[in-house]
Chain A
Amino acid sequence: DADVTQTPRNRITKTGKRIMLECSQTKGHDRMYWYRQDPGLGLRLIYYSFDVKDINKGEISDGYSVSRQAQAKFSLSLESAIPNQTALYFCATSDLPSGQGAFEQFFGPGTRLTVL
Chain B
Amino acid sequence: DQQVKQNSPSLSVQEGRISILNCDYTNSMFDYFLWYKKYPAEGPTFLISISSIKDKNEDGRFTVFLNKSAKHLSLHIVPSQPGDSAVYFCAASAKGGKLIFGQGTELSVKP
B32 proximal to A (CB < 8 A)? yes
| A96→B96 CA distance, assembly (Å) | 10
Dominant SS among interface residues on chain B: strand
- CB-contacts of A56-81 with B (<8 A): 58
Instruction: Report the interface size class on chain A.
Output: 20 to 34
When the two chains form their complex, are residues B32 and A107 in contact, meaning their CB atoms are under 8 A apart? no
Min CB gap B90→A, angstroms: 9
- CB-contacts of B1-43 with A (<8 A): 4, 6, 9, 32, 34, 36, 41-43
When the two chains form their complex, are residues A106 and B46 in contact, meaning their CB atoms are under 8 A apart? yes
When the two chains form their complex, are residues A107 and B44 in contact, meaning their CB atoms are under 8 A apart? yes
When the two chains form their complex, are residues A43 and B89 in contact, meaning their CB atoms are under 8 A apart? yes
| A94→B69 CA distance, assembly (Å) | 29
Min CB gap B3→A, angstroms: 10
When the two chains form their complex, are residues A110 and B46 in contact, meaning their CB atoms are under 8 A apart? no
When the two chains form their complex, are residues A42 and B104 in contact, meaning their CB atoms are under 8 A apart? yes
Given contacts A43-B44, A43-B91, 19 further A-B contacts (CB under 8 A): A4-B43, A41-B103, A42-B4, A42-B102, A42-B103, A43-B101, A45-B99, A90-B43, A96-B97, A97-B32, A100-B49, A101-B46, A103-B97, A103-B99, A104-B34, A104-B46, A105-B46, A109-B41, A110-B43
Which residues from chain A sit less than 8 Å from chain B, CB to CB? 4, 31, 33, 35, 40-45, 48, 50, 58, 90, 92, 94, 96-97, 100-110
Which residues from chain B sit less than 8 Å from chain A, CB to CB? 4, 6, 9, 32, 34, 36, 41-46, 49, 51, 89, 91, 93, 97-104
